[in-house]
């Protein structure tokens, strides 16, 4: 009798766990926002104000970690974008109103991204599923974490 009760309990727990896994796999990620340009093209919408955390490492480690704010705008003529810093960086940093990064967009996200540090530096990036965070890595220089406000 005890053996049958144990087997029944294990089967019940396994059924509950399986149901939870099935539900977790069918959950849909949050939809990303698209912007329709005047030329009819749709692009991933990253426009707006973003908090930026810059963590310098490698060649730039002596400049440390500091926050900033960026305004990202999308050029409607060619689906490119630019991010402008809204506050001065710590000394000997760049002033407010200067470019942080530039790149190109399509409906799936960013297709090209360069961080501006003396000149354009090709960088790697990862966008969160909901489109509210962009992690940028400038090889051997800095990591920038953009979080949508």
Task: Walk along the chain (149 residues) and give the pLDDT tens digit of each residue.
Answer: 777 777 877 777 776 877 776 666 554 555 668 888 888 888 999 999 999 999 999 999 999 999 999 999 999 888 899 999 999 988 777 899 999 999 999 988 899 999 998 899 999 999 998 889 999 999 999 999 999 99
Homologous superfamily of domain range 34-148: Quinohemoprotein amine dehydrogenase alpha subunit, domain 2 (2.40.128.120)
> Residue 61 gets which letter from DSSP?
G
What span, in angstroms and rounded, lies between the C-alpha atoms of 90 and 133?
A: 23
> Residue 111 gets which letter from DSSP?
E
Phi, psi of 143 (to 5 degrees): -120, 130
pTM for the predicted model, two decimal places: 0.76
Domain ranges of the chain: 34-148
* pLDDT value of residue 30: 53
CA neighbor of 65 nearest in space, from 93, 34, 26: 93
Q: Are 105 and 80 in contact (CB under 8 A)?
A: yes
> Residue 60 gets which letter from DSSP?
G
* pLDDT value of residue 26: 55
Q: Are 119 and 90 in contact (CB under 8 A)?
A: no
């Amino acid at each position: 009798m005890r053996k049958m009760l144990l087997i029944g309990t294990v089967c019940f727990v396994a059924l509950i766990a399986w149901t939870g896994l099935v539900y977790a796999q069918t959950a849909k990620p949050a939809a990303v926002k698209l912007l329709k340009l005047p030329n009819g093209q749709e692009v991933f919408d990253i426009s707006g104000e973003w908090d930026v955390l810059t963590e310098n490492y490698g060649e730039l480690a002596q400049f440390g970690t500091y926050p900033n704010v960026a305004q990202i705008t999308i050029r409607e003529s060619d689906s490119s974008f630019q991010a402008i810093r809204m506050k001065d960086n710590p000394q000997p940093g760049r002033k407010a109103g200067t470019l942080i990064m530039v790149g190109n967009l399509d409906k799936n996200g960013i297709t090209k991204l360069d961080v501006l540090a003396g000149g354009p530096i090709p960088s790697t990036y990862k966008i969160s599923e909901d489109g509210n965070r962009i992690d940028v890595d400038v090889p051997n220089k800095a990591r920038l974490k953009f979080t949508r406000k």
